[in-house]
Copies of this chain bind each other. A is one copy, B any other.
Amino acid sequence: MKKSQNSENFSPELSSSSSSRTYIEIKEHVRYSETDQMGVAHNKNYFEWFEIGRTEFCRQKKIPYKSIEDRGFFLVVVEAFCRYKRALRYDNTFFIQVSLQDITAKKVVFSYQLLSENKKQLMAKGYTIHIVTNAKSEVKNFPEDIINKLKS
């Protein structure tokens, strides 16, 4: 994800220069049930869209999230943030861009941008921070091979 030049980086932690970072992108539509009576997509759905993006990120890195869980590792969300820029409305097409902000054996940070259909407008941006656990919610280290695939 080519980082923009502006100063809107939402957290010092996330502002590290990373112009070479790769991102994946998927296209989505706003579902009717995702709108609320204000006529726009409800704020909670953005976190669901972030997650769809993560799923696709892992798939494109040849390590589907399902296969990660099948090996007994879970990416538990410990922090989530979204800045909403412009409203998304019913049936709007938008793009979800996901990049891996940071990864260690113990922590994974994804960042997200939602773009308008013509990709000229930033609709929202955010990040999620995850720790790695097993099925019993015990903190674990991510295996090297998974880290390497996600970083590839």
Contacts and interface: CB of A to CB of B under 8 A. Distances in A.
Interface string A62-82: 001110000000101111111
A49 to B, nearest CB: 9
Contacts of A27: none
Nearest to A75: B38
Question: Binding site of A, secondary structure by majority: helix, strand, loop or mixed?
Answer: mixed
A66 B35 CA distance: 13
A55 B43 contact: no
Contact of A64 (B39, B44, B48, B91): B91
State the 6 A-B residue pairs at the shortest beta-carbon distance, nearest first.
Answer: A35-B37, A44-B47, A43-B77, A37-B39, A44-B44, A81-B81
Interface of A: 29, 31-33, 35-40, 42-45, 47-48, 51-52, 55, 64-66, 74, 76-84, 87, 89-91, 128, 137
